[in-house]
Amino acid sequence: MKFFDIDLKEIGFEYVYDQLQPKTIFGMDKKRNLKFYKKHEKELLIREFDELEKVIEKLRYNNEIFEDIETILLKFKDIRKSISRCKNGCVLDEVELFEIKNFCLNSNALRNLILQAGLYFINLNSLEDVFKLLDPEGKNMPTFHIYSAYSKKLEEIRNKKLDIERKILYELDEKIIDILKEERLRIVIEEEEEELKIKTILSEKISFYSKKFEENFEAIGKLDFLIEKAKLAIKYDAVKPNLDDNRICFVNQINPYVLDLLRKNGKNFVPITIEIPFGTTVITGANMGGKSITLKTITLNLLMGHLGFFVFAKHASFPILDFIYFVSDDLQSVSRGLSTFGAEIIKLNEIIEAVKFGLGFVALDEVARGTNPKEGYAIVKALCKYLNKFKSFVLVSTHYDSVVDNDMSHYQVIGLRNVNFNKLKKDLALKNSIEVIQEYMDYRLVKVQSLSEVPKDALNISKLLGFNQEVINMAENILKEGEGYEK
Amino acid sequence: MSDILSLIKPYKTISIIGMEKNVGKTTVLNHIINKTRGGYLLGLTSIGRDGEDTDRVTNTQKPKIYVEKGTIFATCKELFLKSDVTKEILETTGIYTPLGEIIIGKALSDGYVELAGPSANSLIKEVSNKIINFGVDKVLVDGALSRKTMASPSITQATILSTGAALSKSLNEVIDKTEHTLRLLSTEKESNEIILKLAHEILKKARLGFIYKDYSYKTVDVLTSLESSKYIVENLNEDVIYVVIKGVLTDKTLEDIIKSTDKYKEKIFLVEDGTKLFLSTDILNVFIKSGGKIKVLLPINVVCITINPKSPYGYEFDSKVFLEKMRHRVNIPVLNVLGDEK
């Protein structure tokens, strides 16, 4: 079973994911291999949240030290290949030894900063011994060469080399120069042989520390990625979720993708508050009413939480789920060559199998929209009824109000219910744009206690947009006569 | 040849480019290194790859670069490890070439190094700045003059043009070609700051652009600079004052334009620098005589020409005649790389 089956771009996950910019290759690896926490990993997830909370706290309180940390992080190069090479008995070259020396230097500097920042849960090994090994003359410099201090013999060879080079410099006779250069070449070969011996010994010695290096790769990646997660949480004022085994509840949650998009156009995102018990919860409301965004936002936030991120809300609680599914009307299955409806059915079957065996969250966004309304209604109603039996969270958005049974939760988008239509009409005449309606639209959800009157937002919107009056009249009559014909 | 030092004295970065392989460019480089010994602390790098053991075509011995202890050099990892100086690694740049990362090192002994730097202008500049930061007096950039390299000597303050017998069996042809190349390299720089700013904007966006009288401009997406003539002809009108061309400007392009329109007259064709001009004397003359103008964004400051009278193909010019004829044709100093020191 897949843990989640979601179009990550559609729900706005890609948008936040792209904002994570780890500084090291190790952090990038963490980003690439996000971990979906499972039920039996509750302790780990709680620890992850606690550590993230600490980093957020420290980042808010002492930004300067984090600037220093990031400066050091940027200096780390990927030496994993070199470490695994020397572990396998290969001889490292000078450039690799240089990189390892610098890694040790940066590791030690980062270690001090971590201590200063009080990030006690990041355990970085000291690599002082390896640094000393690569700094035999105690110069404490980031540069490297095969130092003469490594071997008396090397020192002698190099002195010989310098001697002959001096002779070459002062010799004028081309023929003698050629002879001297031949001799120099022999010394160069001696030098290289001795250097190789030293590189072999150094590589072997470094290989003893490979575990410490590997632990540091892990720790650096962890710190790097935690900082990115913390920055994201601060940017959108995200909250640490409560792990509650019995319900899903979000207070004032937002979707950064939609929020930023609206802001760019000078508009606000209306935060969404919703409580979802086990079984089926239905959201109804007019078109353009933001039902789809509600589903996407809840899905996004549940996913974020399960990946160890803080959640974009004022308050959030949910249990650790076995799976998170999101099925939307624009789901396409191009690869399997099926129509939208066919693809939906296959997906729905997977979901039905999944809820039998696990505790999950399923968002169904206007499923069966593509079919004729009578059948569509019947399918959605049956689906709601069937899935209501299981101990999972099923959130359904639909414009068929009467699919809701009394034992299901029901939310409605407030929509245009409380709007002064005369005022809206005037505004519309002035600006003549659908956007005006969107401005009047109240996107908040209200819990519906009993089946109330069918909302008439669709008809109202049609009127506002100047839809043919006769058709509207006829539609109103049909509604009166057969209120709930769907039943 | 010794006065080459006084010619480059005022400059911090100097490139050496050859008219062709085997014209003695590396000899010039070695010569400067020899002459500066004990005087200047040198930094070395190159554009593209050069200084190979043997030239694959002619199988002639090519001089490697013999550097002095203390020299800072930037080359790719493979060649860095091959160099026979005792080498210290100062910095790994994070700039990669097919032969590995560019490493900046210091020679702790005398010895041979082989240079292969990055191939893009901005990267060469970055590497050369890094070398300067290690405290050298001058950076020598081993350059190339080829359609294949993107980088150009315009990134250095001074350029030495190297020519020689390897170019042609006919001395007159060598002289003609060298003079013509010098003319192209020394193409006048556009001095109008506003135009320069607009041209840089255009080059960031497209391969071709047109600047109008009112200083507005238009860009055109062209896949290769070779097919640009069609678009140039289409877009030339009374209001165009500049045509901005990214990449090379070839005979073919100019010929097509001359054939299809006369609207190019009094307009200025702007290219990045003189190395982008692959034009024969004839076409260039026709274009200019009928009123066309070519200018560059970045000037190349050629400070002298060096000649190598010996060809690796087995023939040799009289060095005195070569020197005199060359000097007669150009108004910058001409020096012989092979010993007119005595």
Domain boundaries, chain A: 20-235, 239-451
Comparing CB atoms, the residue among A94, A161, A188 nearest residue B89 is: A94
Residues of A within 8 A of B87 (CB-CB) are 94, 145
The reply to whether residue A94 touches residue B87, judged by beta carbons under 8 angstroms, is yes
Name the residue in chain B with its Cα closest to that of A161.
B109
A147 in contact with B, Cβ within 8 Å: no
Residues of B in contact with A136 (CB under 8 A): none
Q: Determine the Cα–Cα distance for residues A69 and A24; give it in Å rounded to an integer.
A: 12
Residue A339 pLDDT level (bands cut at 50, 70, 90): low
B34 touches chain A (CB under 8 A): no
A191 interfacial to chain B (CB closer than 8 Å)? yes
The answer, yes or no, to whether residue A313 has pLDDT greater than 50, is yes
Tell me if chain A has a CB within 8 Å of the CB of B258.
Answer: no
User: B88, A143: Cβ pair inside 8 Å?
Assistant: yes
**Does the distance separating the beta carbons of B90 and A143 come in below 8 Å?**
yes
Phi, psi angles (nearest 5°) of residue B278: -110, 75
Of the candidates B149, B150, B170, B174, the one whose C-alpha atom is nearest the C-alpha of residue B161 is: B174
| ipTM for this prediction | 0.81
A93 lies within 8 A of chain B by CB = yes
pLDDT band for position A284 (50/70/90)? confident
Please give the single-letter amino acid code of residue A97. L
**Chain B residues lying within 8 Å of A98, measured CB to CB:** 89, 92
Please indicate whether, in this complex, the C-beta atoms of A94 and B109 are within 8 angstroms of each other.
no
- A57 inside 8 A of chain B by CB: no
Q: Is A75 on the interface with B (CB under 8 A)?
A: no
Q: What letter does residue A6 receive in the DSSP assignment?
A: -
Lowest mean pLDDT among A78-92, A294-308, B106-120: B106-120
Question: Chain B residue with minimal CA distance to A188?
Answer: B84
B101-133 tens-digit pLDDT: 999 999 999 999 988 888 888 888 999 999 999
Kindly determine whether residue B110 and residue A185, on different chains, have CB atoms separated by under 8 Å: no
Instruction: Compute CA distances B1 → B22, B31, B175, B307, B336, whole Å.
Output: 18, 9, 19, 10, 6
Q: Is B244 a residue whose pLDDT tops 50?
A: yes
- Asked whether the beta carbons of residue B77 and residue A99 sit closer than 8 angstroms, the reply is no
Which tens digit of pLDDT belongs to each residue from B265-277? 888 999 999 888 9
- Chain B contacts of A146, Cβ < 8 Å? 86
Q: CB of B90 within 8 Å of any CB in chain A?
A: yes
Contact between A95 and B77 using a beta-carbon 8 Å cutoff: yes
Is the minimum CB–CB distance between A50 and chain B shorter than 8 Å? no
Q: For B291-324, write each residue's pLDDT tens digit.
A: 889 999 998 999 999 998 988 888 889 989 999 9
Q: How far is A205 from chain B (nearest CA, A)?
A: 21
Say yes or no: B37 contacts chain A, CB-CB below 8 A. Answer: yes
Q: Do B89 and A162 touch (CB under 8 A)?
A: no
What pLDDT score was predicted for residue A323? Answer: 92
Domain ranges of chain B: 4-186+300-336, 193-296
Mean pLDDT, chain A, whole residue set: 88
The set of residues, in sequence order, having a beta carbon less than 8 Å from that of B183 and lying 6+ positions away, is: none
CB contact under 8 A, B109 and A161: yes
Judge whether A74 is closer than 8 Å to chain B, CB to CB: no
Average pLDDT of every residue of chain B: 86
Which has more pLDDT, A377 or A228?
Answer: A228
B109·A165 Cβ contact <8 A: yes
Among B92, B156, B191, B172, which Cα is nearest to A142's? Answer: B92
Residue A158 sits at the chain B interface (C-beta within 8 Å)? yes
Q: Is the pLDDT of residue A380 over 90?
A: no
Q: Does B288 contact A at CB distance below 8 Å?
A: no
Contact yes or no for A293/A299 (Cβ under 8 A): no
Query: Which residues of A are less than 8 Å from B69 in CB distance?
Result: 162, 165
The CB-based long-range contact list for B261-265 (8 Å cut-off, 24+ gap) reads: B261/B233, B261/B236, B262/B290, B263/B236, B263/B237, B263/B238, B264/B232, B264/B236, B264/B291, B264/B292, B265/B290, B265/B291, B265/B292
Chain B environment of A158 (Cβ under 8 Å): 86, 109
Taking only the tens place, the pLDDT of each residue in B22-60 is: 777 888 888 888 888 888 899 999 886 533 444 444 444
Which of chain B's residues have a Cβ under 8 Å away from the Cβ of A168?
Answer: 110
DSSP letter string, A370-392: TS-HHHHHHHHHHHHHHHTTSSS
Q: Which pLDDT score is estimated for A477?
A: 85
B267 touches chain A (CB under 8 A): no
Judging contacts by C-beta atoms under 8 Å, the chain B residues touching residue A143 are: 88-90, 106
**Interface membership of A168 toward B (CB under 8 Å):** yes
B37–A144 C-beta distance less than 8 A: no
Please answer yes or no on whether B80 and A144 come within 8 Å at the CB atom.
no
Residue A99 contacts B, CB cutoff 8 Å: yes
Q: What is the pLDDT of residue A486?
A: 45
A and B: number of Cβ contacts within 8 A: 46
Beta carbons of B207 and B225 less than 8 angstroms apart:
yes
Contact residues, chain B, for A99 at CB < 8 Å? 92
Distance CA B334, CA B326 (A): 7
Interface contact B61, partner A, CB < 8 A: no
| A184 contact residues in B (CB cutoff 8 A) | 111
> Could you tell me which CATH number the domain at A20-235 has?
1.10.1420
Strand, helix or coil for residue B104: strand
* Cβ separation A165–B110 shorter than 8 A: yes
Residue A69 · residue A113 · CB < 8 Å: yes
B-chain CB neighbours of A188 within 8 Å are: 84, 111
d(CA A243, CA A358) in angstroms, rounded, equals 17
| Fold classification of B4-186+300-336 (topology level) | Rossmann fold (3.40.50)
CA distance A452 to A456: 12
Q: Which residue has the higher pLDDT, A150 or A376?
A: A150
Does this chain's domain A20-235 share its CATH topology with A239-451? no
pLDDT at B106: 97
Superfamily of structural domain A239-451: P-loop containing nucleotide triphosphate hydrolases (3.40.50.300)
* pLDDT of B2 higher than 80: no
Q: Which two tokens stand for residue B92?
A: 């790994």
Give the pLDDT band of residue B337 (cuts 50, 70, 90): confident
For residue A161, the distance in angstroms to the closest alpha carbon of chain B comes to 8
> pLDDT (tens digit, 9 = 90+) per residue, A181-200?
999 999 999 999 999 999 99
Q: Which residue has the higher pLDDT, A320 or A289?
A: A320
DSSP A60: H
Q: By three-state DSSP, how is residue B252 classified? A: helix
Distance CA A232, CA A238 (A): 8
Q: Which residue is listed with tokens 């100062």? A: B90
Smallest CA–CA distance, residue B293 to chain A, in Å, is 47
- Residues of A with Cβ-Cβ distance to B84 under 8 angstroms: 185, 188
Type of residue at B289 = K
Architecture of domain B193-296: 3-Layer(aba) Sandwich (3.40)
Contact at CB, A145 and B87, closer than 8 angstroms: yes
Task: Decide if B92 touches A, using CB distance below 8 A.
Answer: yes
Region A433-458: mean pLDDT is: 72
Which residue of chain B comes nearest to A147, CA vs CA? B88
Q: How far is CA A416 from CA A147, A265, A351, A467, A477, in A?
A: 80, 22, 34, 17, 21
Nearest-Cα residue of chain B relative to residue A184: B111
Residue A443's pLDDT is 79
pLDDT of residue A9: 84
Identify whether the C-beta of residue A333 lies closer than 8 Å to the C-beta of residue A343: yes
Residue A341 clears pLDDT 90, i.e. is over it = no
Collapsed DSSP state (helix, strand, coil) of residue A307: coil
